[in-house]
Amino acid sequence: MFSNTQKWSAEFIGTFWLTLGGCGSAVLAAAFPGVGIGLLGVSLAFGLTVVTGAYALGPISGGHFNPAVSIGLVIGKRFSAAELPGYIIAQVLGAVAAAGVLYLIVSGKTGFTGVGGFASNGFGENSPGKFSMVSVLICEVVMTAIFLIVILGATARKAADGFGGLAIGLCLTLIHLVSIPVSNTSVNPARSTGPALFAQTGAMGDLWLFWVAPIVGAALGSLIYNALLSDE
């Protein structure tokens, strides 16, 4: 049995890695002259953080790294509600710490004048493709719902052993491929909170949506899975 401190530490580190690896790829490598990784590379980076984190830290905490996932798993009866507050606090702190480290890295560049959008999420003028609030809301709800369905299915009792982390990471990669132009992809309130604190846009004003939509989506995904797909 792992202690609460060990579980919270795993969630802190996992969310730190997801935010630093995913947002760091967007801020530092997406448009790097000559070798920029672009949308495809950033999408893959987010997926890889989940794959690596799931296999390294999942055995300790379950590898949520996302408040919406933790809430969805409670609704899906895969996680204790009593453990939820500690997980969410650890996840948010991990994301904020990662954003702080990324800021220190970025601000050390010669000629630094500011971080700009800093891989933050937004709608309207803060959306990469200038999508409306309604479009972003729908996208985030649906993508998070599918994410929870995949998570619940990939970790079900009858699922193939050892492949859950890979399926979940690939799902997150696909989610980013679809939704980066719409919202810069959240599906994770913690990941949205960290960069928003440092961004030089209106990200903090848009942040509420990236808590509400992923949580609603996670709840819907869990309810759909349990009602239509689960045999447990």
Task: Give the confidence band of 231 by pLDDT, cuts at 50, 70, 90.
Answer: confident
Q: Is 28 exposed, middle or buried (0-12, 13-18, 19+ CB in 10 A)?
A: middle
**Residue 232 pLDDT greater than 90, yes or no:** no
How many domains is the chain built from? 1
Cβ pair 130, 124 in contact under 8 A: yes
For residue range 144-179, list pLDDT tens digits in order: 999 999 999 999 999 999 999 999 999 999 999 999
Render 91-131 in DSSP notation, one character per residue. HHHHHHHHHHHHHHHHTTSTT----TTTT---SGGGSTT--
> Residue 35: which domain range?
4-228
Cβ pair 222, 215 in contact under 8 A: no
For residue range 31-77, list pLDDT tens digits in order: 999 999 999 999 999 999 999 999 999 999 999 999 999 999 999 99
CATH number of 190's domain: 1.20.1080.10
For residue range 6-20, list pLDDT tens digits in order: 999 999 999 999 999
Task: Provide CB contacts within 8 A for 18, sequence distance 6+.
Answer: 46, 49, 50, 53, 65, 66, 95, 98, 188, 191
